[in-house]
Structure 1
Amino acid sequence: MYIQVNDVIVLKLLQADNAESLFALTDASRPYLREWLPWVDGTVNVGNTREFIEFCEQQHASNNGFNTGIWYKGELAGCIGYHAINWGNKKTSIGYWLGQRYQGNGIMSSSCKKMVDYAFHELGLNRVEIRCGTGNAKSRAIPERLGFVNEGVIRQAEWIYDRFIDHVVYGMLKQDWSGGAGGHGGYETGN
């Protein structure tokens, strides 16, 4: 399965043979990613990354969402995916991260826009949520740029190594989504 975002960005399901390159990307951006992501210290070798990829494969197989690698100009640049899908309430949340050297190219905004569009038009969901640390300006810029509504702050929502951080909750409803205008082609289900 892959999703063509634009001429230079493709989202593909992570596979076992991506473990080494995904770990290398994580390792190269470790101090940068660690500021906001609680899993970085637990990712100490390629085996940990393989376990994550196996989890992603199980998630996809059980129809509970999926995580993809973000390929930018043919290089693995980060990850984006649905944490889980609540089919009863037709909603999901999106999580994402990008290697430090890939920042500033519009990669995440474009990828996130495509994932929101996919959630509404391909999966038939009604609500997409994004939660970000209140102090994580780069992450918060994504839903703000895409027109998500700031629905409030959850205090001390997450423990990051040595401190609690608050989360801003951003929400988008299908009826309010205009970011996916211009068609929703480019989705493939093959390998």
Structure 2
Amino acid sequence: MFLYNIDDQISLKLLEVRDGEKIFDLTNSSRDYLRQWLPWLDQTTKQDDTNEFIKMSLKGFAENKSLNTVILVNGQIAGVAGYNEINWSNKTAYIGYWLGEEFQGNGIMTKVANALTEYAFKELYLNKVEIRAAAGNKKSRNIPERLGFVNEGCIRQAEWLYDHYVDHIVYGMLVNEWNERKS
């Protein structure tokens, strides 16, 4: 079991199948909001879809290839965040995240991304953390920018979003840059 306390209100907990109903309910209540930038909403139409994602995530964790967690705010599931992929050959983690609409605007995701970056460098001994966000998704892009990630460029038409392509901005942080910022 993975449990990581960020502060007295926010923690990250490994996804569990028993969380499926609450994650699906949060997805449903934020569906229109999340659909603006996340391409998987139309494939997540019932709790079984969420449960399958959780099972896939647990398999990735067991194989040491990923780490997906629920974000708990005062014990309540507020979203999902983690390493969509860990590339051990290149010592790089790729952070992904989403937050329910009602939890937006409180700095939660910035704290979560900060904690995941710190964990990647201090506990997993990785060299680089990347965050990718759609070019037009200012809220998501603000997170790595606040944390001092470097804008490494644009991947044109990186993702099909229902009826159009969106470009992705790639942000990167190297362990030496992180350590310099922290000292």
Q: TM-score normalised to the size of structure 1?
A: 0.93
Matched residue, 2:178: 177
RMSD, aligned α-carbons: 1.3
Residue 105 of structure 1 corresponds to: 106
Query: In 2, are the aligned partners of 1:80 and 1:95 still within 8 Å (CA)?
Result: yes
Per-residue deviation, 1:2: 0.5
Shift of 1:84: 1.1
Name the amino acid aligned to 1:116. Answer: T
Deviates more, 1:173-182 or 1:25-34: 173-182
- Structure 1: how far apart are the matches of 2:79 and 2:9? 14
Residues in 2 aligned to 1:39 and 1:13: alpha-carbon distance in whole angstroms:
20
SS in structure 2 at match of 1:168: strand
Residue in 2 aligned with 1:132? 133
SS in 2 for 1:147: coil
Name the counterpart of 1:153: 154
Q: CA deviation at 1:98?
A: 0.2
User: Given residue 81 of structure 2, which amino acid in structure 1 is its aligned partner?
Assistant: I
Shift of 1:178: 4.3
Q: CA separation in 2, counterparts of 1:85 and 1:77?
A: 23
* Percentage identity across paired residues of the two chains: 52
2:35 is matched with 34
Q: Superposition pairs for residues 18-33 of structure 1, below 5 Å? A: 18-33=19-34
Q: Which has the higher helix share?
A: 2
Distance 2:151 2:83 in 1: 19
**Per-residue deviation, 1:136:** 0.1
Kindly state the Cα deviation for residue 74 of structure 1 after the two structures are TM-superposed.
Answer: 1.1
- Report what 2:91 is aligned to: 90
The one-letter code sitting in structure 2 at the alignment partner of 1:60 is F
Deviates more, 1:134-143 or 1:83-92: 83-92
Q: What corresponds to 2:15 in structure 1?
A: 14
Establish whether residue 49 from structure 1 lines up as the match of residue 35 from structure 2: no
Residue 64 of structure 1 aligns with which residue?
A: 65
Taking the aligned partners of 1:4 and 1:179, their CA distance within structure 2 comes to 24
Structure 2 portions without partners, runs of 5+: none
Q: Is the 8 A contact 1:38 1:159 kept in 2?
A: yes
